[in-house]
């Protein structure tokens, strides 16, 4: 067949699709919806995993927490010196942080004491970070600034664990590669964090341990554990694995809930695969009778399947992208984020996994084209005589 004949068959296919515009529009809508939902879930869970990796990129290899009755407790700062003495440890830094529920806007913030290592993964959009021992100043994430309608130079009021109101001048607003990292963050000077949470002197929330050789981290963790049996050393790798499992599990959960719609789509595809309408069969017979070859009919049906499935796929993916990255995945984010109910809004950075897109395409476009071609092929190999006989 020449290029002309392929173009002519494509021309006929488009005419043919327009003839059944309402039926085809219905299929496009269902198909687009399926791709939109699945694509949204994939984009969202993949972005969460990437955000988590970004957060952890600048974090220490090891975090040491003290446990009491199965719960995390404050850890004595004095242990930092002993841990520093373990061979392979390059540094230990006490961290002062905690969560703060803001009843005004019904959001949860992360309060963190400023330190030398803090600015490594974060950049300030405006202003500066509080100095480690500075009092009465704060740098806030964009989510906090948005929730509290504050800007540079504004004052943010928080209530300490003792019930005192504490005012802070906003001297910086965060910008970060990952907005998930800083959206809910408020950075204060160390004395302010201690006062806000009413932490005892010489106690920290946990200890951040850096090691010379990352592969040595599990060995060092074991040594810390044996020296301080009430501690829980957490490896960065373990946190990454946990994030992966949590978001994988959550997206799996949504996909399971979504299985009903998937089943409906499969039924639609099966319906197409197992039979053509009498009218479609008749048309194939007519085309055969007037001189179309079986391969011409298969080609026409291939174009038909490709036009419908590819346009639906592209539309669904674009809608999913817009939904996730421009509208914050308003449909699924609560289920995927879990704790988002009290989390300030944040916008995900667009991360796309080409492998996932290719898989989704392979799982939707190819079965649809096959379900279009197979019954048509079956109809096309029967004698056109059946048409002549009416």
**Closer residue to another protein (CB): 250 or 301:** 301
CA–CA separation, 14 and 10 (whole Å): 6
* Residues 348/329, Cβ–Cβ less than 8 Å: yes
CB of 53 to another protein, least distance (A): 53
Tokens of 8: 């002519």
**Closer residue to another protein (CB): 54 or 297:** 297
CB of 26 to another protein, least distance (A): 16
Give the closest residue to 97 by CA, choosing from 242, 203, 224, 9.
Answer: 203
CA–CA separation, 274 and 267 (whole Å): 10
* Residues 220/211, Cβ–Cβ less than 8 Å: yes
**Closer residue to another protein (CB): 67 or 381:** 381
Residues 107-166 that bind another protein (CB under 8 A): none
Ordered DSSP codes for 137-157? EEEE-HHHHHHTT--TT-EEE
Residues 264-283 that bind another protein (CB under 8 A): 279, 282-283
**Closer residue to another protein (CB): 84 or 382:** 382
Give yes or no for residue 9 binding another protein (CB under 8 A).
Answer: yes
> What residues contact residue 317 under an 8 Å CB cut-off, 6+ apart?
35, 36, 39, 357, 360
Beta bridge partners of 75: 204
CB of 271 to another protein, least distance (A): 21
Give the closest residue to 78 by CA, choosing from 206, 233, 202.
Answer: 202
CB of 278 to another protein, least distance (A): 12
Q: Which residue has the tokens 């992360």?
A: 110
**Closer residue to another protein (CB): 260 or 291:** 291
Q: Which region, judged by CB under 8 A, interacts with another protein, from 15-23, 48-56, 200-208, 303-311?
A: 15-23
Give the dihedral of Cα atoms 269, 273, 274, 278; nearest 10 deg: 100
> What residues contact residue 263 under an 8 Å CB cut-off, 6+ apart?
none
**Closer residue to another protein (CB): 19 or 106:** 19
Q: What distance separates the 2 farthest-apart alpha carbons in the chain?
A: 97
CA–CA separation, 185 and 181 (whole Å): 8
CA–CA separation, 289 and 285 (whole Å): 6
**How many residues sit in the footprint of another protein (CB under 8 A)?**
35
Helix (H) or strand (E) holding 71, with range, is strand 71-73
Site string for another protein, 19-58 (x = CB under 8 A): xx--------------------------------------
CB of 303 to another protein, least distance (A): 12
* Residues 227/82, Cβ–Cβ less than 8 Å: yes
Give yes or no for residue 14 binding another protein (CB under 8 A).
Answer: no
**Closer residue to another protein (CB): 121 or 384:** 384
Residues 364-383 that bind another protein (CB under 8 A): 381, 383
Q: Which region, judged by CB under 8 A, interacts with another protein, from 9-17, 45-53, 76-84, 352-360?
A: 9-17
* Residues 178/47, Cβ–Cβ less than 8 Å: no
CB of 285 to another protein, least distance (A): 8
Give yes or no for residue 389 binding another protein (CB under 8 A).
Answer: yes
CB of 287 to another protein, least distance (A): 7
Among 29, 267, 358, 388, binds another protein (CB under 8 A): 388
CA–CA separation, 80 and 75 (whole Å): 9
Site string for another protein, 278-307 (x = CB under 8 A): -x--xx--xxxxxxxxxxx--x--------
Give yes or no for residue 215 binding another protein (CB under 8 A).
Answer: no
Among 15, 69, 85, 120, binds another protein (CB under 8 A): 15
**Closer residue to another protein (CB): 17 or 349:** 17
Residues of the shown chain interacting with another protein in the complex, contacts defined by CB under 8 A: 1-2, 4-5, 7-9, 11-12, 15, 19-20, 279, 282-283, 286-296, 299, 381, 383-385, 387-390
């Amino acid at each position: 067949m020449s290029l002309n004949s392929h173009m002519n068959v494509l021309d006929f296919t488009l005419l043919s699709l327009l003839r059944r515009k309402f039926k085809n529009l219905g299929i496009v809508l269902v198909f687009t919806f399926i791709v939109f939902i699945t694509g949204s879930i994939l984009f969202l869970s993949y972005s969460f995993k990437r955000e988590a990796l970004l957060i952890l990129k600048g974090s220490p290899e090891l975090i040491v927490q003290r446990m009491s009755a199965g719960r995390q407790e404050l850890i004595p700062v004095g242990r930092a010196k002993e841990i520093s003495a373990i061979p392979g440890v390059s540094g230990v830094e006490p961290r002062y942080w905690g969560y703060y529920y803001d009843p005004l806007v019904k959001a949860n913030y992360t309060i963190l004491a400023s330190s030398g290592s803090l600015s490594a993964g974060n950049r300030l959009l405006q202003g500066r970070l509080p100095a480690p021992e500075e009092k009465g100043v704060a740098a806030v994430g964009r989510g906090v600034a948005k929730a509290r309608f504050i800007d540079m130079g504004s004052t943010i009021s928080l209530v300490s664990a003792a019930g005192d109101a504490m005012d802070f001048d906003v001297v910086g607003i965060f910008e970060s590669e990952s907005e998930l990292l800083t959206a809910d963050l408020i950075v204060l000077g160390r004395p302010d964090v201690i006062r806000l949470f009413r932490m005892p002197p010489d106690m920290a929330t946990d200890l951040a341990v850096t090691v010379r050789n990352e592969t040595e981290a599990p060995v060092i963790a074991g040594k810390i554990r044996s020296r301080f049996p009430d501690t829980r050393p957490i490896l960065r790798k373990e946190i990454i694995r946990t994030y992966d499992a949590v978001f994988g599990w959550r997206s799996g959960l949504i996909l399971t809930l979504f299985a009903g719609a998937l089943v409906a789509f499969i039924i639609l595809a099966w319906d197409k695969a197992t039979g053509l309408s009498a009218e479609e069969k008749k048309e194939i017979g007519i085309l055969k009778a007037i001189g179309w070859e079986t391969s011409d009919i298969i080609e026409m049906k291939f174009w038909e399947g490709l036009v419908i499935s590819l346009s639906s796929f592209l539309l669904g993916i674009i809608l999913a992208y817009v939904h996730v990255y421009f509208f914050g995945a308003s449909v699924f984010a609560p289920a995927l984020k879990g704790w988002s109910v009290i989390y300030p809004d944040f916008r995900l950075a667009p991360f796309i996994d080409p492998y996932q897109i290719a898989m989704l395409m392979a799982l939707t476009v190819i079965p649809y084209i096959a379900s279009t071609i197979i019954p048509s092929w079956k109809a096309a190999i029967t004698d056109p005589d059946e048409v002549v006989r009416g």
